[in-house]
Amino acid sequence: MKHLALLCMMLLPVVGLSQTAKQQPDPNQGPITITLDQALKYAKVNAPQFRSALMDAGIAKEDRVQARAALLPNVGFTTGMIYTQPNGTPTGRFIGANGIREYISQGVARESVGFSSIADYQRAKAAEALAKARAEVAVRGLVVTTIQAYYGTIVAQRLTSNAQQAFDEGKHFLDLSQKLERGGEVAHSDVIKAQMQANDLQRALQEAQLAEEKAKLTLAVLIFANFNQNFTVVDDLRFAPPLPPREETQELATKNNPELKAAIAAANAANHEVSSAIGGHLPSLTVNYFYGIDAANYATYTDGIRNLGYQVSATVDLPIWNWGATQSKVKQAQLRRTQARIELSAAQRQAIADLQTFYSEAQVSREQLDLLRQSAELAADSLRLTTLRYQGGEATALEVVDAQNALTSARNNYDNGEVRYRVAIANLQTLTGKF
């Protein structure tokens, strides 16, 4: 396994991992202990889907910057020289020439304004809001995935511990039945039953150990940049956050639901896309301001005449005919707007249903914890009493086996119940944010 880990590390690409490695624990420093907060931090660094969502949000931000820049004057500078073949006159052979030599050195400010460019900027702002909302959706989805993997590892460890206790109890029952058989107090069939129970419990322990290893590997792949199994997790299942009142979660979901924000932003972007397409039917204005020299000599003064000066030009472009291309773009934008509105309506309905479902799931799982804890305590007491009755000849081997199985099941149910509540809280927080 160690050689396999080294091989995997050698095959990892070097480019792009230097920054990630700085934020990761060194596996060569010995066993490390990971808390849930640390696991979430590492997962955000390594999860490709989450990083992709952040990249999309960054790209959308730069699109907005570019769209805003398109509304503002652009300033540049141009310098050059035009030489025209002489023809014996001061202007040269070309009719458009001002002279044989023409020097140009000017600063240029250019502003182009149209209805479409304004709508494009508004659409870019909406697209940025959409990308940010989707990034938040990715964040909360990653939190749920990490919590499931983190507490999946913890519950796998607990189930292994439960299986070990059950196996120890099974061996104790086997020893007890053999002792009672030697004393002539029970039949050999009890020993056979106890041996079969011990065999089953040993297999269950092996399966639990395998499941624990798989759960740990799943978490390791999620949170570490390099392959690392040399870690332990902090078991804080019993410190789950309390469930707030339903009215409070509804208020939080109204403000913080990223899915709903994404749908609203998509609808806004579609509205501005329609406006941008309609802008193709409207005139646009372009203004150019030049300041510098355009003279026969590369100088600010020639023969006492000042060459420095400015020139302003303005152009209005009015679209007349383009074979229906603009109207086709308008129809395309209107179709996308209709779809965005349908998706927004569906997102609003789904948000209400999800909130009720997630809250009810968290509420039921929390209420069941006390029952599951009580069942585990009763099952432990039942096994103790059944074993005493068996020693006294008042209970059968089958009753002892049933009591052992019931205790293992009750312990597992309680541990699974705690994980279910934590995951239910995480799912609820995808709609409400942290509470």
When pLDDT is averaged across residues 200-215 and rounded to a whole number, the result is: 97
Most confident of 2-6, 45-49, 73-77: 73-77
- Residue 106 has which token pair? 């000017």
d(CA 256, CA 434): 9
User: Residue 221 pLDDT > 60, yes or no?
Assistant: yes
Q: Is 393 left (phi over 0), alpha (psi -120 to 50) or beta?
A: left
pLDDT for res 338: 97
pLDDT for res 13: 41
Under the banding of pLDDT at 50, 70 and 90, the label for residue 1 is very low
d(CA 172, CA 170): 5
User: Residue 2 pLDDT > 50, yes or no?
Assistant: no
Under the banding of pLDDT at 50, 70 and 90, the label for residue 25 is low
Under the banding of pLDDT at 50, 70 and 90, the label for residue 249 is very high
- Stated pTM of the model: 0.80
User: Residue 18 pLDDT > 90, yes or no?
Assistant: no
Q: Alpha helix (H) ranges present in 224-324?
A: 246-256, 258-278
CATH class of 49-306+323-432: mainly alpha
d(CA 36, CA 150): 7
When pLDDT is averaged across residues 52-56 and rounded to a whole number, the result is: 93
- Which of 15-29, 196-210, 262-276 is predicted least confidently? 15-29
Under the banding of pLDDT at 50, 70 and 90, the label for residue 240 is confident
- Residue 371 has which token pair? 């029952």
- Residue 352 has which token pair? 């209400």
Under the banding of pLDDT at 50, 70 and 90, the label for residue 30 is low
Sequence-distant contacts of 231-234: CB under 8 A, at least 24 apart = 231/25, 231/31, 231/32, 231/33, 231/34, 232/31, 232/32, 232/33, 232/34, 233/33, 233/34, 233/35, 233/39, 233/150, 233/153, 233/154, 234/33, 234/34, 234/35, 234/36
d(CA 405, CA 383): 9
Contacts with 169 (C-beta within 8 Å, 6 or more apart), sequence order: 201, 383, 404, 407
How many alpha carbons fall within 13 Å on the CB side of residue 97? Answer: 19
pLDDT for res 255: 92
User: Residue 16 pLDDT > 70, yes or no?
Assistant: no
Q: DSSP code of 85?
A: -
d(CA 428, CA 280): 45
Under the banding of pLDDT at 50, 70 and 90, the label for residue 27 is low
When pLDDT is averaged across residues 214-234 and rounded to a whole number, the result is: 92
pLDDT for res 226: 86
Under the banding of pLDDT at 50, 70 and 90, the label for residue 47 is confident
Mean pLDDT (the chain, rounded): 90
Contacts with 289 (C-beta within 8 Å, 6 or more apart), sequence order: 108, 109, 110, 310, 311, 312
- Residue 359 has which token pair? 């809250």
For the segment 70-123, what is each residue's pLDDT rounded down to a tens digit?
899 999 999 999 999 998 888 888 888 888 999 999 999 999 989 999 999 999
pLDDT for res 228: 84
When pLDDT is averaged across residues 270-283 and rounded to a whole number, the result is: 94
Contacts with 44 (C-beta within 8 Å, 6 or more apart), sequence order: 50, 139, 142
d(CA 392, CA 181): 13
When pLDDT is averaged across residues 281-310 and rounded to a whole number, the result is: 92
User: Residue 217 pLDDT > 70, yes or no?
Assistant: yes
d(CA 215, CA 319): 64
Under the banding of pLDDT at 50, 70 and 90, the label for residue 4 is very low
d(CA 251, CA 429): 12
For the segment 378-395, what is each residue's pLDDT rounded down to a tens digit?
999 999 999 999 999 999
User: Residue 170 pLDDT > 90, yes or no?
Assistant: yes
pLDDT for res 95: 84
- Residue 351 has which token pair? 């948000």
For the segment 332-372, what is each residue's pLDDT rounded down to a tens digit?
999 999 999 999 999 999 999 999 999 999 999 999 999 99
pLDDT for res 435: 85
